[in-house]
Structure 1
Amino acid sequence: MHQERILKTTLSSPATQDVARSLKTPTDIAEEGVAAISEELRTLLADVMALYVKTKNFHWHMSGPHFRDYHLLLDEQGSQIFEMTDDIAERARKLGGTSIRSIGQINRLQRLKDNDQDDVRPQEMLSELMSDNQQLTAFMRATHAVCDEHGDVATASLLENWIDQTERRTWFLFEAADE
């Protein structure tokens, strides 16, 4: 009870209100739209961060006769995935929303599963990443629908490009995993 009262006092303090007010960026998108889109973007960003770490994990732990090809493929894909992160976070901020703030929040929000197994075979790595990219595509399409619902064409446009990139990664992983 005491902690709850402290939290309420802290959240309603003038300093906290000033910070919250300073994060609100002017936009013509309604407040409920900003909230819905920002929530989608935070969750999407958590998934993208999780996929980035998994892609780099598999890149670092790749082995076998196709090591060089797979190692380079996953390095390229990891870079492409990482490039999305800042754009996603900044898009949420441009709307007046917030982004993720910690590894813990990523862990709570991510829908893609981590893989910290000691020994994963190359074909299993590629198949798992292919599946994750397919799921990410579905998540982005759902986020696009929320953007459409609230008239956010700028975020929808970014998502269309990311969907195309993610489908390309899925295709490459499918072709590589089919050996």
Structure 2
Amino acid sequence: MLQLLPAAIGRALSGVRPGTDALTCARLQLSDLPDSMHLGGTGMMGTALPDRCTADGPGLSPALHWSGVPDRAAELVLVVEDADPPLPRPLVHLIGYGIAPTDGHANEGDFSDPRHFSTGRNSYGRARWLPPDPPRGHGAHRYVFQLYALSSLSMLTGRPGLGAVRDMLEEKAIARGLMLATYERA
């Protein structure tokens, strides 16, 4: 949807960004969690998301790998937010939950297909990966991948939104891992 904005409007709105202080990981109750898990992406050029993981390609969710999951973790939850849309708050690109609490990975496209992982609603109301589509001329957008380990099962069901997920994380998160990816349209 944002990719349809003309580049001139993207440039005019280049200073309108909620920023990283508005992300889930910046919430006071979550900002002090130990960053003890490692979260990484496969097939990325540095931090840049490949076109195939965006609205400029087939829109597949990126391949991810993680390690350092605490022994006492009961479940993992993944939240991906864009810190830089020309909107008052970040865009949610993915909520994944019910992830096995072990070191592991997700293949490219796994979060694009709800048969692989349980997913909550993204900012467009769909329970799947929302491919990045920043407006032309708006500059680089930062996509923050946030993996949380939980002390007990989340009890999330259906297609939860970010509000329910944040409330649950504030109660149950014991560790996290963060990864930054970028994408820009010229």
Q: Give the TM-score, by structure 2 length.
A: 0.22
Whose Rg is larger?
Answer: 1
Greater helix fraction, Structure 1 or Structure 2: 1
Greater strand fraction, Structure 1 or Structure 2: 2
Q: Give the TM-score, by structure 1 length.
A: 0.23
